[in-house]
Structure 1
């Protein structure tokens, strides 16, 4: 891949196996991330977003298996690498900010030790040099008095500050690709905005690509240049941020947009919830997974999985009714 593509995923299928049951969490997903991209992967809880990214990094639970597909990171075929070879890539070339800053840090380890461990493992630094670098990294992510804070424990940090520590850990080795899994969950609106601005500035400073996983389209509007909308283990619609917001094609994307709070002039617009619930991936529907909740669905939608319809080079939608 010498065309500026950093990550390429093709027909990826990931399944959880539990005794005689299986959950088809990712059901055949294709996407690319170019150098410098900020891709937002959006969808409700249970749509397959986090499993998709954990599949890319090969950090799935023991009962999960990648059944088929291809994952290329630069020239490397990740599905053919050993666990040891993947460990060399994870954290160094590709890093992930995990969900929930309240539980992602070890409460028995000092903040500095979390970052020092990453630097020693991937950069081979001495403990002294790693600690000096950790202080600098904490300062880079906006933590005041890093020389003091490095010796404190997670419970001494607020939720927003813990999130900054997770970002610092992920950025310690200056990865080419940063995956941020719901990085603003459980944070108030002001802190959310600060974290997103921090990610934007760090992207520019470190010349990296970002995949931002979220259930909130409003979160991705100001940071992402491309958006993929997931539902039922599939990508329903993908396009540039402008195409997704202003040239929406899929009914599910439209429903998500209608659920974002809006103010038009001095008047507040009532939110329109999406009726019904997501399909069970224990027994996925044979047709469009959104058909049950779609006001435009007809019999074909329930019986047949639609192909993607393209709208130019960057925009596609999996819907019979896309116009």
Structure 2
């Protein structure tokens, strides 16, 4: 009987080890305890305060949170695009098991690309669209300009720009906002990256164009077999494209889960507050738009406890004095809160 119990235990251990190995193999990107600070006039701003996150092959991960929560800084840390005064203090960013914080120049741009927030400020108004694309393609793929031009035209065609042979010779001001956003997407996918980071790709676009851009990202993901990280504060966009969601606040991940777990089984008070602030159409019934009272914490002197404690109506002394660990509710769902049962 004892031998049988030992055999069952050993089999369970072997299964758990194999499962963990399979999960690790399925990770395209893995962020481990990443901390990024800004140094301004001798003072330290802790923008990213120890983030652990992974992106699986072929999935779309949404990172949501208010402005100033650290979403864009986290992604720019991965891409090594931080401004002057910003320093990655510690942590690892593993892409296909290679730490790209030290040796990632060949990976960034070629295997990881980024779509930036504002297409008007991201494109040089004095350069033709073709110059933007060709410069990126030559630098990352190491091909000649005439070959790069052919690649650029095909990239423009892939993102739905009509007559790319003609449009490639036009300037950014000759494109609409939606078309400029498509140009940025073309620049990002021209080198066929395995991971695409989209930083607020639908900001300042009307609803119809937003839907077109989201559908375009879906089509590109499918046709190029890539993973996507989508940074946004628009939960409607998240619901329409993401497989999994990480909720960020005060430089930390506060909750993480599948799209259904976040939208229907949210645990953290901040996640619930974000969901409650979504405008709802209740027919003729008039309802005041709900907001989250207060403001985000200063990351110059971040609170020692939960960063959301000052705005949480359920917070107690424990929340103010200590940072909670994650509590797990499933293999994909976890949240950082003292108050969750």
Deviations 1:231-256 (A, max 9, x none): 00000100000000000000000000
Q: How does 1:86-165 map to 2 (within 5 A)?
A: 86-165=104-183
SS class of match (1:210): strand
Deviations 1:30-55 (A, max 9, x none): 00001011000000000000000011
Q: Does the CA contact (< 8 Å) of 2:77 and 2:88 recur in 1? A: yes
SS class of match (2:117): coil
Q: Which residue is equivalent to 2:72?
A: 50
Which of 29, 42, 49 is the matching residue for 1:20? 42
Q: Structure 1 pair 11/175, CA: closer, same or farther in 2 (3 Å)?
A: same
SS class of match (1:212): strand
Give RMSD over aligned pairs: 1.2
> What is the distance in 1 between the residues matched to 2:148 and 2:113?
18
> What is the distance in 1 between the residues matched to 2:78 and 2:116?
14
Q: How does 1:166-181 map to 2 (within 5 A)?
A: 166-181=184-199
Q: Which residue is equivalent to 2:15?
A: none
Deviations 1:10-34 (A, max 9, x none): 1111000123211000001000001
> What is the distance in 2 between the residues matched to 1:48 and 1:175?
24
SS class of match (1:262): coil
SS class of match (1:244): helix
Aligned length: 319
Deviation (angstroms), 1:266: 5.4
Greater alpha carbon shift after TM alignment, 115-124 vs 96-105: 115-124
Q: Which has the larger radius of gyration?
A: 2
> What is the distance in 2 between the residues matched to 1:262 and 1:201?
29
Q: Which residue is equivalent to 1:33?
A: 55
> What is the distance in 2 between the residues matched to 1:227 and 1:313?
14
> What is the distance in 2 between the residues matched to 1:124 and 1:277?
47
Unaligned runs of at least 5 residues, structure 1:
none
SS class of match (2:38): strand
User: What is the TM-score with the length of structure 1 in the denominator?
Assistant: 0.96
Q: Which residue is equivalent to 1:218?
A: 236
Deviation (angstroms), 1:198: 0.4
Deviation (angstroms), 1:125: 2.2
User: What is the TM-score with the length of structure 2 in the denominator?
Assistant: 0.91
Q: Does the CA contact (< 8 Å) of 1:238 and 1:316 recur in 2? A: yes
Deviation (angstroms), 1:80: 2.4
Q: Which residue is equivalent to 1:319?
A: 337
> What is the distance in 1 between the residues matched to 2:54 and 2:124?
33
Unaligned runs of at least 5 residues, structure 2:
1-20
Q: Does the CA contact (< 8 Å) of 1:261 and 1:269 recur in 2? A: no
Q: Which residue is equivalent to 2:280?
A: 262
Q: Which residue is equivalent to 2:215?
A: 197
